[in-house]
Structure 1
Amino acid sequence: MSAAADDLLRIGPAIVLAVTVAWLALATRRTSREIGGRAYGFGRSPRQTLARVLFGATVVGGLAALGLHAAGSASAAIAPLAGEAYAVRLSGLALAVAGQVLTVVARSGMGRRWRVGIPDEAPDALVTTGLFGLSRNPVFLGMLAMAAGLAVAVPSPAMIGCALAFWVACEVQVRDEERFLEHSFGPAYTAYRSAVRRWI
């Protein structure tokens, strides 16, 4: 394999995750300013605590693992497992980038209705058009594709563990959000849920 491809697999995954995390943080902050309140906030239930802890742990763990990998760490927890083909790893990086693009486009489609966690008050309307007409959770879908792609691009025990934990967090959060939206929007959300799949 060429040195350029080797460098891409060493540094690229860390860049993809760091850029996405930074962009989402800025987008959430901007939304908070637009709505004059907090766009970020998880509920106090045990399920919401679990989702918040898992999301935080996977982001911090993923950034640390990919950063150490980019720096050349030979730790068994950080280094890619032996035998993984470079073509497969490059495909994983491509999937991660595609997931990043989907995340950005889907989140942008929500505009000021973007929220992280379960808000104190529901947004003023459901977002059901664009990508949300194809999937009820295109932002989560993009982030899951990115997590899976990063775990394939850098198939280390740490990254595989982060991807699995992130998937569990998404499953918990999506179901909590569905209950919140059904309570907030009633028949409108029930009709939307019947017409559009949870994932794809």
Structure 2
Amino acid sequence: MPSLPLLSATLMGVYLAAFLALTARSARAAERPAWLFGLGGRQGLPALLFRLSFAGALVYPALLAAGLPPAPVLVDPSLPARLAGLLLALGGGVFAVHAQHHMGTSWRIGSAAGHSGAIVDTGPFRLSRNPVFVGQVMLLAGFAITRPDAVQLALTAVLVLAVRLQVRVEEDVLAQDLGAAYRAYRQRVPRWL
């Protein structure tokens, strides 16, 4: 059986490849860029934090699998707990990719006034206004359960902070761009789950 760090690195690599491929496909289909972090204010810090957490979630377990001495675990989880963490990570990655795919041409990375797509309120967006972020947090939280050391916990905390900061920006932009339709959606569907 492959090592847990190798499984984590592979899962994160597959998730990031799917994320980038779906982003490129969405941009082509919409005939406009999907990367909006540079266009809107207050997104520099969340953009940096997303990049750090995702890069770290890929590189750290890969380095562990290659023999890097690991940070001490805070609690040594049992094998069933580690497997449950991997299942949570897998489920989170699949949920995030499914939600991103479901957004179709409305998919954006970042948010900027005048660049909002149509409201997507079907599929996973009936359960959460932010299912991609929910899945991403599940992904990294699963890794933290699998290996609860200071590095993995910090990567998860950085992602949670990035998500919280970014959601505030996106909600402001969507309310400005989409008005009453977005406010009605906010009333019907919870922010997280």
Normalization by structure 1: what TM-score? 0.90
Give the conservation status (yes or no) of the 8 Å contact 1:40–1:119.
no
1:158 to 147, 151, 162: 151
Aligned residues: 192
Query: d(CA) in 1 for partners of 2:36 and 2:75?
Result: 40
In the TM superposition, 1:50-199 aligns within 5 A as: 50-76=45-71, 80-81=73-74, 83-119=76-112, 121-199=114-192
Find the aligned partners of 2:104 and 2:76 in 1 and give their Cα distance.
43
1:15 aligns with 10
What amino acid maps onto 1:170 in structure 2?
Answer: V
- Name the SS for the 1:128 alignment partner: coil
Secondary structure of 1:127's aligned partner: coil
> 1:182 and 1:75, CA in 2 relative to 1: closer, same or farther beyond 3 A?
same
Specify the SS of the correspondent of 1:191.
helix
Secondary structure of the corresponding residue to residue 40 of structure 1: coil
The 3-state SS of whatever aligns with 1:72 is coil
Runs of 5+ in structure 2 lacking a partner? none
Where in structure 1 do 4 or more consecutive aligned residues deviate above 2 Å? 79-84, 119-124
Deviation of 1:84 after TM superposition, in Å, equals: 2.2
Using the TM superposition, give the Cα deviation of residue 66 of structure 1 relative to its aligned residue in structure 2, in angstroms: 1.2
The letter of the residue matching 2:167 is: V
Deviations 1:19-67 (A, max 9, x none): 111111111112122222210121453x311101101111112211111
Q: Secondary structure at the match of 2:43?
A: helix
Rounded Cα–Cα distance in structure 2 between residues aligned with 1:116 and 1:168:
16
Q: What is the Cα deviation at residue 112 of structure 1?
A: 1.0
Q: 5+ unaligned residues in a row in structure 1: which ranges?
A: none
Give the residue type in structure 1 aligned to 2:45. L
Tell me, yes or no, if the aligned pair for 2:129 and 2:189 is still in contact at 8 Å: yes
- Separation in 2 of the partners of 1:61 and 1:146? 13
Greater Cα offset, 117-126 or 92-101: 117-126
Deviation at 1:80, TM superposition (A): 4.0
TM-score for both structures, normalised by structure 2:
0.93
Q: Tell me how far 1:156 sits from its aligned partner.
A: 2.3
Q: For the residues of structure 2 that align with 1:101 and 1:112, how far apart are their CA atoms?
A: 19
Tell me the C-alpha RMSD between the 2 structures.
1.6
